[in-house]
Amino acid sequence: MKKVMFVCKHNSRRSQMAEGFMRILGDGKIAASSSGLAASEVDPITVEVMAEIGIDISNQNSQALSNFNPEDYDAVISLCGCGVNLPEAWVLREVFEDWQLDDPAGQSIATFRRVRDEVKERVVKLIASLS
């Protein structure tokens, strides 16, 4: 089974969405984790917009990247352009992508929904490329 790490600055919005989508759409064939350069908390609006489309991420937690081992992952996806700040071992995995999606923090719910839909589109493409 392939393992993917989604990483962002705070692990509170985009990376949480990506983990939620991968858990559902990866269909048990791809394992997903998410983390941040620093741990924070999952944004309640993120939980809300994922629930709108039937994905419950209310039990996901924000975790620091330093709690994980890069060798455990096949693919590492940065969602915020923070790839330049990652330790080299993370960037040198079999697959590394930097998606650079907008941070919806402090924005309207419409922005959260747009970012959610962009994350879903990218996760679907990632699943196809890893399968």
Burial class from Cβ neighbours inside 10 Å (0-12, 13-18, 19+) for residue 65 reads buried
- Active-site residue flag, 80: yes
Of the residues 80, 86, 115, 119, only one is catalytic, namely: 80
- Active-site residue flag, 82: no
13-26 per-position pLDDT tens digit: 999 999 999 999 99
The domains located in the chain, with CATH, are: 2-130 (3.40.50.2300)
Of the residues 4, 7, 8, 22, only one is catalytic, namely: 8
Predicted model pTM? 0.96
56-74 per-position pLDDT tens digit: 999 999 999 999 999 999 9
